[in-house]
Structure formats: structure tokens, C-alpha cells
Structure 1
Amino acid sequence: MTSPVEELLQRSHALGADPRNTNFAGGNTSAKGTAADPVTGSPAEVMWVKGSGGDLGTLAERGLAVLRLDRLRALAGVYPGVEREDEMVAAFDFCAFGTGGAAPSIDTAMHGLVDAAHVDHLHPDAGIAIATAADGEVLTERIFGDRVVWVPWRRPGFQLGLDIAAIKKDNPSAIGCVLGGHGITAWGDTSAACEANSLEIIRTAETYIAEHGRTEPFGPVLAGYEPLDEEARAERAAALFPVLRGLASTDAPQVGHYTATGEVLDFLSRERHPELAALGTSCPDHFLRTKVAPLVVDLPAGAPIEDVVARLRELHAAYREEYAAYYRRHAVEGSPAMRGADPAIVLVPGVGMFSFGKDKQTARVAGEFYVNAINVMRGAEALSSYAPIEESEKFRIEYWELEEAKLRRMPPARPLATRVAVVTGGGSGIGAATARRLAAEGACVVVADRDLGAARKVAAELGAKAYRPEDVAVAVEVDVTDEAQVVAALRAAVLAFGGVDLIVNNAGLSLSRSLLETTAADWDLQHGVMARGSFLVSRESARVMIDQGMGGEIVYISSKNAVFAGPNNVAYGAAKADQAHQVRLLAAELGAYGIRVNGVNPDGVVRGSGIFASGWGANRAAVYGVEEEKLGEYYAQRTLLKREVLPEHVAGAVFQLTQLTQTTGLHIPVDAGVAAAFLR
């Protein structure tokens, strides 16, 4: 027999798997049943409900809040009224069953007070379209009859739970309700019935909009605002994204996400998009992530790029002024401090949408929510007119003390959160170890390698535990000696995360030959990869960093051989010396832009090294007269510390350089102490 928890999770996953039903991390579900009291062993009525945060599609048992139903319902007797309803959230802690599970969400009262064994609260686009239509109450009755009841807008909380409980009691034939400005709630005696009722409301609303809605609710296409072709869009998006990211990071660093779906491009091509975008979103889950309104570029798709950039700066300044005014209009004594005045959503006609957040997932989800908002506006305008909740109500939720408390509960950010790193030669050895360390410290990582398969393997490893692996790392193919490929790789990094903050010039190779055996082709190959390659990567990344205006960092994986002379090593050593001096030259030149340039000088890294595995190790072992498998030990014995250098040690030095915020032009030896390589 399936338990109530198993049924609840199955229903949650089924509903959450379809974006037509609810948005990522939005909505909540519950089930009521009995469980043995852990102290007395006697049966107790219990409610399991999705806790604060999390996502229905991936909900696990640990994400459920567990409460005693008798105690939760008894809170109605001590409810102090709507002016003090926020106090009831703290009271949920006194209703916990056992250890209580996850933190209860603000919607817990709705689930507990409604007299039904199973309850769903969802944010479907079609349902919110009805909820935000100017005549939503009339539409609800027309579409659903007495099976679904209209509930006027009320901020989520204890009173809304009481309201819906009363509606359920007074309307015995109803299967659910439409919450004005917000979403839907459905119920059922069994989990299957509850799910069926939720889907009936959603699909009925979808069908009605499709059959009765106007065909062009956003108006006709606006001449000059049609979508650019795919290549032109990508090129313009890559040019604008670093500028936008820098502007959106004025108050706090942000990661970006780019969306150019048909819904977005069509919306921005239509005559009415400016007025509708200005109305902002309505569902609390939407505007908590998208902010009260987006920034909309008011230039045609083909406007010169320099004009778009100049206009963006003007619009951004105006957006910040208006957001601060919005805060002043509605803030009261005790309101949380303004969190930041930069936009979370930027809309560029012909190009698409740029969304921003504290990490890639947050940025991506903000964009997904604005696509939901476009769908909501389309549905509402198709049947009626879009009428979101009042600005004052949006402020009450955006600067709700309960939301502030949720933010305070979040774990502290990792050291490299919001940083975007590109690691060349990231598919193996030092590069792969560096990519792992940077990702572990919170960075978004672009694994760049000539071997795309190796790069993809590392990127997949880095993102294996993420909801979407590409939120953590992406792979790009690049031969750093090829200028066009380097430009393309940096463009891919920008389109993936919004820009670049950290470049690790790690791509390299070595051929161990004496002077007389070294050919011009040997020389050109090694200098092409390390000297020319790191120059090209540094140049292109510097262009992005300068456009961002956020500073940045370039780290060269050089070598002790840049300062230490050894036999049979002229091409490699000279190329590494070139890289070492690039560090000094670029540190001097780029400091004016806040870009720091430093280097790491490892000793020979034998274990895990792609270079050594490709024949370099055998050659160096022959030079020193030792067995190849003992080369690492040989290198260790000639150091002061008698220790072997591993890829992880080099990766650690790269991370430490990111923390030395006042340091530039420095080379850090990672060689266990080679006296001949001491820097002078």
C-alpha cells in the first residue's frame, strides 16, 4: 500500500515535470494522514507539505514540512487578525511533528486549514492569466461554472488560508479556486483526485483561452522590431551581454542568462510590448525573481550597437532612479533596507532577454519566470485586459519581513560565487584540476580544450550534482593558436554566463629536444600554443572585462622553466619565459581597468599531467637518467621540501591568487622549493 508521503511525492513530481502546471520552485502540495507519535506511539493526524524553497518536480521527503494537524488548526483560535498574521509563521514551529522536517512556507496555513486530504497550490500560466484579467471573477464563473470559485487578491498568509477554507466549506461542489492576481488552488479526497482536479482547472483554462482569445493580443508587429536572424542575434547578444552584466552588477555582482525563445522575440516585436512590460508581473513567485518591472530598450532591432550601448546606460540610470523612488513610495518604518536598484530582466527588441541573479540557476529561473509572465499577459489580453496586482502590494511582498528572514537563512556564498572562469586546456591535468577547484569554490566554469570530448567530460563532472549541469559548467572547443576559435570560445563563454571574470591560461605542450634537434616547426608549435595562444586568449578576455567594467583577473600557468635553465628544453623554456613576461606587461597595462594579471610557476607535474602522458615524461626521464615511473620522485628529491607537485597544488595556487585582491604582476612558485628557480 502506498503511503501518503509516497503519493504526495509522486503527485508533486508529475505536476512539477510540466511547466504548463507550475514554474520552477513555485507552488506547493500537501497530504494529510496519520502517523505514530514518536513519543507515545499513538496515532496522530499529520500534514506533510512542501517546505519553503525547493521544487515540485524534484521534491524529496527531506523537503517536506511535517506538522500536527490538530495544533495547526488550533491556531485559528489564537489568530490575532490580518494586521498581525505574519506572527503565525513563527507559530508553525510549535506545530511540528517529530523533528518537523523542512521549514514551513507561508502557504502552510492554506493547506492545513482547508478541509481536504490533499491540496495543490500551483502557478500555471493559463490559471494566472485568468487571475490577472481585469474581469477575472466573471471569466472564472463563465469558464468553470460552480466547479471553481473566485478568490479576490490577498497576500499569501494565514488569512488567505482561512478564506479558502471557508470557500471550500460553502461550495461543496467546487474542486478548487482561482486566486486573484496569483494562481490556483485545488483539492481532493485522494491524491489522484487532487491531481486530476488541478489538471482539469489548468487544461480548461488553456482550452478556453485558445478557443475564445484574440489572435494578436500584443498588437501588430512593429516595423523595425522584428527578430534578427539567429547569427545576428547571437553576435549582438555577445556584444551587449558584458555591458549589461556590468550595469546589472552595479550594486552586487551578478551572473547572466540569455533567452531568445519565440515567446520573447514575438513579444518584443509587437506594438504593445512597452506598455505591457511597464505593468510588471503579478504572481508573487514571478516578481520576487524578476523585480517589479523589466528594463526595456526602446530602440529598433537594427540600431547601431554603439547607440544601443549608450541608450542602455541612460535607461539603466533612469531605472535605478525609478526603483529607488518605488522603494521610497512604499517603505514604512521597519521595512528591510533596499536590496539593490539594478534590473533583473533586460529586454532588447530583435535580440531577446537577459536575466541576472546571484548564480546561474537564479539568473536562468528569473528568465523562465519572465517567459511565464509573457504567457500570462498574452492569455489575459486575449480574453480581457491584463491587470496585475497594485504596486503597493508588490512592494509588501518584495520587502516582506518573512522574505527577508528567508534570505537570512540562506547559507553564505562561496568565495567565487558570481565569478565566471575560463580554463584553457581544461580537459585534463592541471586544467581539469583547476576547473574542479574553481567550481568547488562557487565559480561558473567554461572548460576550454582542443579535445572537446575531454572538455565535456570535465564539465559534466562539475555539474553532476546541479539541477541543470550547464548552470555550473560548459565545454567549448578551442585551439588557442587559432584567432577565430579564440574569439568564438570567448563569445560562447559570454553567451553562457554573461561575461568573464577569470581567465586561466593553462593550454600547453612540450617537446623535450636539444637545441640541435629542435626544428623550426617544434619552436613554432610550442610558441604558438603558449606564447601566441595565451596572448590571444588574454586579449579577447580583456575586451570582455573592459566592457563589463567589473575588473577581472588573468592567471598564467607558466613554469619554473621560465626562470630555470635546464638541458634539452630551449623551445619550451623560451615559450614559458614569454608567458612570464606577458604577466608583467599585461599587469602594467590592464591595472587601469581593475584587471589583475598573475602567474603560477609549477615544477614538473608528472601524475595526472596530459603533457607528461604524451611523451614529455619519457623524454625528461631519459635526460635525467631515471626510470619514467620514478620521474615524479626524482623531481621531488631535488626540491627543498622533498615533495612531489600535483595538479591539485597548482589549482590551489590559482584559487589563492583570486583571493589576493591587491596583488598583480606576481608569479607564485609551486615547486616544493627549487632554489635555482627562486624569483629575483
Structure 2
Amino acid sequence: MDVVTELLARSHRLGADPRNTNYAGGNTSAKGTATDPVTGRDVELLWVKGSGGDLGTLTAPGLAALRLDRLRALTAVYPGVEREDEMVAAFDYCLHGRGGAAPSIDTAMHGLVGAAHVDHLHPDSGIALACAADGEALTKECFGSAVVWVPWRRPGFQLGLDIAAVREAHPEAVGCVLGGHGITAWGATSEECERNSLHIIRTAERFLTERGKPDPFGPVLEGYEPLPAAERRARAAALAPVVRGLASTDRAQVGHFTDAPEVLDFLARAEHPRLAALGTSCPDHFLRTKVRPLVLDLPPGVPLEEAAARLRELHAAYRTEYAAYYERHAVAGSPAMRGADPAVVLVPGVGMFGFGRDKQTARVAGEFYVNAINVMRGAEAVSSYAPIEESEKFRIEYWELEEAKLRRMPAPRPLAARVALVTGAGSGIGRAIARRLAAEGACVAVADVDGGSAERVAAELGGPDRAVAVTVDVTSEEQIAAAFAAAVLAFGGVDLVVNNAGISISKPLLETTAQDWDRQHAIMARGSFLVSREAARVMTEQRMGGDIVYIASKNGVFAGPNNIAYGATKADQAHQVRLLAAELGEHGIRVNGVNPDGVVRGSGIFAGGWGARRAAVYGVEESELGAYYARRTLLKREVLPEHVANAVFALTGGDLSHTTGLHIPVDAGVAAAFLR
């Protein structure tokens, strides 16, 4: 097995177990030789996981390849710890060939340590020792001379020099514990390095279990016990829009909710306020969770209105305190404050909300805080939790190198951080809308009465970090409420709702039964009303504005034959747009509509029999219906689901921010349906 293949295999094994390292945390490396294409001679190289990426899914392009002779030569020009950040740019001059990942801040650690294989990892057990008040003594007690304590130092070139010196001074050691940070292990072979990494991690786990006290977070606080599962999730769904709105004060954020057992136990214990206030320690943790979380200081049994009011008070205090934290530590040249909202909100008895620019970032923030809870538990079990100093946290949070990473990120898509719920999204127009909104950056709740179709569309859109499926009959108030609850638990809230669910009954007046009329209106007129009402409830609680879009029809304006039930309900929907635009404008909620002509290809309605009946009305073959509709338009073009989706995006993508109460015709020009 070649060096790179061996390194990737080791990385995947280590990254597959969350006990070994957190998502995207740590890095691995291997040294070996390759042919220099210029000289034809062998050259010694370092392959190391580059900036970003995750060990569990690392690929060859995610590695940086550097010439070891040049990397080691940097020690001769190193200007000292006060200017060590300059060395990151110097890594580019050590690269071997083109391509590959950008070298990370930890490159020096891997290149300078005198071992062929190096792992730097962030296991909860190792960080627990690293963040214990007497971590150095505990490390010696746990490992003897096999693992050496290295005091806290911000990641960088000097830390690489420090660990290289440790390796040279302690030839019997297999690795080290980095104060406040994590672990590093090494070996002469990839197998030995992996074995040493796992030895450190598992030995620390056993030490914490065998030596630790049983209740490191203290006794259970009376009244703070977790609510029963159904009640817990119902309360989370009710609070989620409030919490997300607060966390989005500076910029819109996507949310992620978890009621993991570790979170619920932590919040039920007497020591959780003290420990949460100390914040996280490992740089990978607090870069994603911020310096500390916001913690609701009320038991879960208080009325929802009281909990929401208290969250607003605590959020105001959090923002004031965060601004003060920034002012305490900012110096000339510090990046501007990025935002004062929390990334993690803890609600006793209920669970944890994480927030980020997208669902994955929000989910990972929550996962990292679970890591932090495990670290605190381990440290408190054998000692007391003592994270790195606040000033050091600031130096990393507002590190110019981190700022440079943010500047390299691509510009957000138009609907980034927005959450959409589309009814009737399992097929036809609804599926096309869901696809377009997801392509433009939105998270999407794919709602459909056919749960299987909704699941398939959600999977097409990228799975749970991009889309979730919700089964909903829009004639049921209970199912609509459940659908919105599922959406807010998945993504934190809802910003954009598309009323698309519908059926079509095409009959002459004398053949239209009262049952036909009631069914048509129950699904489309009443269903749209119920969906919009629930949407307005969530959006007003979020206080972030929002969009409601009705997929109406040119039939709401145009009086076609044999179409009384369908045409009347579309006219009802059209006027709901006007009525709700007038009512919801004060909350920043815009309500608009789209009036398509008949969409034949890809339409679930037409495939369900409506097409055959309309074709009979017009005296054409059903297969020719789309062409017939196109011929009667001014533009002589057939309307497809994608054209309706384009109109929805035009209304919600940002360019029509001052437009509400509008209906956009998407009918290729039907003069009789011109709006007046």
C-alpha cells in the first residue's frame, strides 16, 4: 500500500469513531518519498490533511503535499512567536506540485516532529485531561512517561517546534496531551501511529471512568428533569421560532435541535449554570459554539409565554456581554465583530438549539457542544473544568487566519439561511419549486399527502441537511401544525411557504356535485387558508418577516368552460393573497401569487385524470393538450413546472423585496387572463 493510500485508510478509521475526534477536527500526516519531476530524483515529502475537511471522508485532493527539506528550512527564518502567523503563507513555498488542499495551521506540527506518521486529534477523553485544572499531574498519573504534557499554546509554528522538542527529549513517549486543546501521537509506521493514538484515547477513557466521581455535574435540580419525549419536542417546536429569531438578529441563521441524553442530563444538574458560563475550550469547539452558550434559567414547567419573554431578556444581556468581551480584547487590526448572537441556546428539560449559516453548520455547532459537555463531565469527574483563558479564546475567534478562511468562502446563494415549506411538493409543480428553492440555497420541508413521494424528493434535494419530508393532508389542521412543527425542529423555523397542494375537478355545472365542490374547496381554498395561518403564526413569532406564495391559476381570472369548482377555488386563493398581504405587511410578511396556465408535462394533477377531461372539453387528444394550450397563447409556448418555479424564485429571491399582493402570470400570454 502506498503512503497516501495508507494515510487515507488510517484517517478514515480514526474519523469514523466520534470518540476519536470531532467532525472536521484534527489532522493526520505521513512522510515518504516521491520522484521530483524536475530532477528525476527522489524527494522527501509530507502529506498532511489540509485546511478544512473531515478525517472520516478525507480524499487525496484534501491532502497538502509539501517538500520536507523546505518545510524544515523554515526554522532558520522563523521570526518568533509574535510573528508566527507569517509562517502560514510560507507553507505555500514548500508545496510539491499543483493542486491539493491549502496547508493548515497545524502543518508545522506534522512536518517538524521527527516521526514518519503523526496524528493530531480532539477526543473528548483527551480534551477532558487537557482542560482539567491539574491536567499535567493527571496526565502523568494516567500515562506515566509514555505521554508528555505540553502547556497551552495557540496552534501555529511555535507549537510545532514545542512538540518536536518534546518528541526529541522523550524518545520513550508515544504522544502528548496539549493543554486546553487535544492530543498528538506519532509512530514509525502508520499502524504504530494509529495504535498509539487509540492507546492514548482509550487509556484516558478508562482513567476518567475508573477514577472519576459518579455525579460530576452535581445532583439533579428539582423541576429541571427532562420533560417526557412528546411534550419535550412539542415545547421545542413552540420555542424554536422565538429562539431562531433571536439568534438571527445580526444575520439570518438556520437552526438545529437536539434532545440528546447528554444534553438533557447536563441541563438537569445543579452545576450546569457554572459550567456553561465557563464556555468551551478546544479551539475547534468554541470556533463553532462561540465563547459560551445562552442558557435559559427557568425550569421547563413555566408557561411558554414566560419562557419566551425570559429568552428575549437573556438574549439582550448576551449581546451586551458579547460586545463587552469583544471590546475587552480587541486590538488595533482585530477583525470587526462578526455578530453578537449566540450559536448555541440551552433550554433545561427540552434540549439544545444550534445555529449556523446553513443546516450542516448548525448541526455541527450542536455536535461540538455535546463534545464540550463530555469534556466538562470528564474534567469534573477527576478534577475541575478549567478551559483556556478568555483572552486566548478571543485571539483564536478573531484570528486573522480564521478571518482569511471566512473571506475565502463563496458568496452565499440568494436563499441561503432561508427555510421553505412547499405543499404538494411530491410531484409536478411543487417538486419543481422545491428543487429551485433548494438550488438557490434554501432548506426545504417537502410536504405532500403522499409521504413516499415527499421522501423521494427530499432525498433528491440532498437529504436531512438540505430537505426533510413531511406527510400532510392540508384539510387537517392537526397535520398542518405537525408539518410546521417538523420543519421548525429540522431547521429552526420557516421563512417561505408555498401553497401549491391541489386537485382539479373538471365538470359542467349540472354534473358538479356538492361533494365535488366541497372537496375542491377543502383542499385548495380552506387548505391554503390553514397553511397560511400556521405560517403566519411561526413567522410572527420569529420576527424575521417572510414570504407566502400561492400557486393560483389563470383560471382564477379567466372563465373557462366546465370548470366551476376549480375556477371558483382559484379565485378564492387569488383574493386570499390580497387579503393576507394587507393584513401581514406590518410583520414584514409578503404575500404574492403565481397564475400559471395549464401545466401538462410533469403535472400530478393532469396525470390524475384532469388532462383527459380537459382534452375532451377542447376536442383534442390528451397527448396534444400541452401543444393546444401553447397554440392559444400569445407567445405560443408551453408552460412547464420549471417556469412556475422560476416565478416563485423571482418573488422570493430578494430583488422584489418591496412587492406584496402581486399575482404574476405564467401563462405564455393569455389575453383573457390579463390582470386588471
| TM-score, L = length of structure 2 | 0.99
For the 8 Å contact 1:336–1:404, the answer to whether it is kept is yes
The AA in structure 2 aligned to 1:669 is P
| Aligned twin of 1:642 | 636
| Matched ranges for 1:49-68 at <5 A | 49-68=48-67
Residues 478-512 of structure 1, C-alpha deviations (whole Å, 9 max, x = no match): 00011111111111111110100000000011011
Q: Does 1:231 align with 2:244?
A: no
Instruction: Return the offset for 1:156.
Output: 0.1
| Aligned twin of 1:24 | 23
- What's the secondary structure of 1:470's corresponding residue? coil
The CA distance in 1 between the partners of 2:40 and 2:624, in whole Å, is 65
| Matched ranges for 1:95-174 at <5 A | 95-174=94-173
Instruction: Return the offset for 1:192.
Output: 1.1
The CA distance in 1 between the partners of 2:310 and 2:260, in whole Å, is 24
The CA distance in 2 between the partners of 1:97 and 1:43, in whole Å, is 12
The AA in structure 1 aligned to 2:33 is T
The AA in structure 2 aligned to 1:300 is P
For the 8 Å contact 1:69–1:112, the answer to whether it is kept is yes
| Aligned twin of 1:458 | 457
For the 8 Å contact 2:445–2:468, the answer to whether it is kept is yes
For the 8 Å contact 1:38–1:98, the answer to whether it is kept is no
The CA distance in 2 between the partners of 1:149 and 1:642, in whole Å, is 78
| Matched ranges for 1:244-283 at <5 A | 244-283=243-282
| Matched ranges for 1:581-596 at <5 A | 581-596=575-590
- What's the secondary structure of 1:550's corresponding residue? coil
| Matched ranges for 1:252-651 at <5 A | 252-463=251-462, 469-651=463-645
| Aligned twin of 1:72 | 71
For the 8 Å contact 2:61–2:99, the answer to whether it is kept is no
The CA distance in 1 between the partners of 2:599 and 2:486, in whole Å, is 30
| Aligned twin of 2:660 | 664
Residues 308-330 of structure 1, C-alpha deviations (whole Å, 9 max, x = no match): 11111110010000000000000
| Aligned twin of 2:670 | 674
Instruction: Return the offset for 1:274.
Output: 0.2
Instruction: Return the offset for 1:40.
Output: 2.8
The CA distance in 1 between the partners of 2:335 and 2:328, in whole Å, is 14
The CA distance in 2 between the partners of 1:224 and 1:86, in whole Å, is 49
The CA distance in 2 between the partners of 1:175 and 1:215, in whole Å, is 30
The AA in structure 2 aligned to 1:588 is A
| Aligned twin of 2:8 | 9
The AA in structure 1 aligned to 2:344 is I
The CA distance in 2 between the partners of 1:198 and 1:234, in whole Å, is 39
Aligned length: 674
For the 8 Å contact 2:508–2:563, the answer to whether it is kept is yes
The CA distance in 2 between the partners of 1:529 and 1:148, in whole Å, is 67
For the 8 Å contact 1:600–1:667, the answer to whether it is kept is yes
Unpaired runs of at least 5, structure 1: 464-468
Residues 127-167 of structure 1, C-alpha deviations (whole Å, 9 max, x = no match): 00000001110011111111110000000000000000010
- What's the secondary structure of 1:579's corresponding residue? helix
Residues 361-419 of structure 1, C-alpha deviations (whole Å, 9 max, x = no match): 00000000000000000000000010000000000000000000000011111110000
The CA distance in 2 between the partners of 1:359 and 1:676, in whole Å, is 44
The CA distance in 2 between the partners of 1:397 and 1:440, in whole Å, is 33
For the 8 Å contact 1:37–1:98, the answer to whether it is kept is no
Stretches of 4+ aligned residues off by more than 4 angstroms:
none
Residues 549-571 of structure 1, C-alpha deviations (whole Å, 9 max, x = no match): 00000000000101001101100
- What's the secondary structure of 1:97's corresponding residue? coil
- What's the secondary structure of 2:125's corresponding residue? helix
- What's the secondary structure of 1:406's corresponding residue? helix
Residues 12-53 of structure 1, C-alpha deviations (whole Å, 9 max, x = no match): 111111100000011111111111223333221111111111
Residues 616-636 of structure 1, C-alpha deviations (whole Å, 9 max, x = no match): 001111110011101000110
The CA distance in 1 between the partners of 2:433 and 2:402, in whole Å, is 36
Residues 627-654 of structure 1, C-alpha deviations (whole Å, 9 max, x = no match): 1101000110111111110001101110
The CA distance in 2 between the partners of 1:678 and 1:11, in whole Å, is 65
The CA distance in 1 between the partners of 2:475 and 2:99, in whole Å, is 58
The CA distance in 1 between the partners of 2:215 and 2:339, in whole Å, is 36
Residues 412-436 of structure 1, C-alpha deviations (whole Å, 9 max, x = no match): 1111000000000000000001100
- What's the secondary structure of 1:460's corresponding residue? helix
| TM-score, L = length of structure 1 | 0.99
Identity over the aligned pairs, expressed in percent? 79
| Aligned twin of 1:195 | 194
Name the Cα RMSD after superposition. Answer: 0.6
The CA distance in 2 between the partners of 1:177 and 1:562, in whole Å, is 72
The AA in structure 1 aligned to 2:598 is G
| Aligned twin of 1:466 | none
Instruction: Return the offset for 1:100.
Output: 4.7
- What's the secondary structure of 2:328's corresponding residue? helix
For the 8 Å contact 1:187–1:197, the answer to whether it is kept is yes
The AA in structure 2 aligned to 1:417 is A
For the 8 Å contact 1:67–1:100, the answer to whether it is kept is no
The CA distance in 1 between the partners of 2:92 and 2:413, in whole Å, is 29
The CA distance in 2 between the partners of 1:188 and 1:654, in whole Å, is 57
The AA in structure 2 aligned to 1:583 is V
